[in-house]
Structures are given as structure tokens and as C-alpha cells.
Amino acid sequence: MIKSISPSLPCFGNLIALFAINGILIFAFIDQLFFNELPCPLCLMQRMGFVIVGFVFVMNLRCGAYPANYGWGLLGGLVGMMVSLRQVLLHISPGDKGFGATFLELHFYTWAFIGFIGLLFWQSILLMLPSRDVRSHSWFSNGLIIIFGALVFGNLVSTLLECGIGVCADNPLHYDGLNWLRSRVGF
């Protein structure tokens, strides 16, 4: 019997979710690097929530889907959702213009809240599917995983350059870590 080349429905669902998380992190990086919009500490925590959920899909695609994986993803999604909700509530008062740029008239933290709700719903659906064989070593899944790894590394480096090893500024205007490094190394 010839094994089907097309991925199973749970595998496809994990690929779609990792693709979406990569898109979210790429969009955040584009805003940071090209529009000089440095992420605030709450924004960095939201990115961390997306990274935690993304690692769940990477683990599923490499090692197979286990309820414990989805448990970590649901916890990461809940924490990210609560952080983004906190930021929404900080800027909900009348006259408050919010923090940072908007996309389709919603701030990025509002989009993050919507994204976390969608990821929580998506993981719940994937957890209910009967097949746990979601492993994939296709070029597409390998590419998504490599891109995700590069985005995680990029976020780590950019956070260190922005905050250094200290506390991040509430309203960051420049890369404090990079300035600290320049003062120590002299470049």
C-alpha cells in the first residue's frame, strides 16, 4: 500500500498555525526594523507568548502531537492573551490614543489579543481531532521551522539590543542595550 503524500488534517492544521505565527512575528519585526517602532515590555511579552505557542507546533511537527504539547500551547496562549488584554485595557479610556501604530484602525496589541483567541480556539480544535500523527519532514514544514527558529533568535537579539541586561524602558525610544554595548566596546 502506498502512503499518501498529502498531510493529514491535524498535520495541515499545525502547519497553518505555524505559518500564521511566523507571519505575526515577521509583521512585528517589519514594524520594528523598518518603521522604527520599538516594542514595549508588554509587546515583548506578547511576542514571547507567540513563541511559546509556536514551539508547540514545532514539537508537534517533529515529535508528534501529544496532549501535553497542546497544554503548553494553551497556557502560552492564555498568558499572551491576558498580557494583550491588559494592554488593551490600559489604553481604553476616552482620549487615549493608544501605544504605537495601528493596522486597519486597531493597535497591534488588540490584534495580538484577537490572534491569541484564534490560536486558543485552533489548538482546542486540533486537540479534539482523532489522529495524533502530525509529523512532517516536508520541505514546507522544514522551511516554516527554520523561519520560526530565525525569528526566535532575531527576537532574542533585538530584545537584548533594546533592553540590554536590565529592565526595558516603558516607552522605548532607542536601543539601550546597543548604546551600553557601544560605551563598553567603543564602536
| Percent of the chain with pLDDT strictly greater than 90 | 35
Task: Locate the domains of the chain by residue range.
Answer: 9-92+99-185
Length of the chain: 187
| pLDDT digits 0-9 by tens, 5-54 | 566 888 888 999 999 999 999 998 888 888 888 888 888 899 999 999 99
Confidence of residue 180 (pLDDT cuts 50, 70, 90): low
Based on C-alpha coordinates, what's the Rg of the chain?
18
Return the exposure string of 148-180: e unless at least 16 CB atoms fall within 10 Å of the residue's CB, then b: beebbeebeebbebbbbeeebeeebeebbbeeb
**The model scores a pTM over 0.95:** no
Supply the pLDDT for residue 2.
45
- Compute the CA torsion angle 72, 158, 164, 166 (nearest 10 deg): -30
Supply the pLDDT for residue 126.
87
Report the SS3 class of residue 93: coil
- Residues with Cβ < 8 Å from 100, sequence gap 6 or more? 31, 37, 40, 43, 107, 108, 109
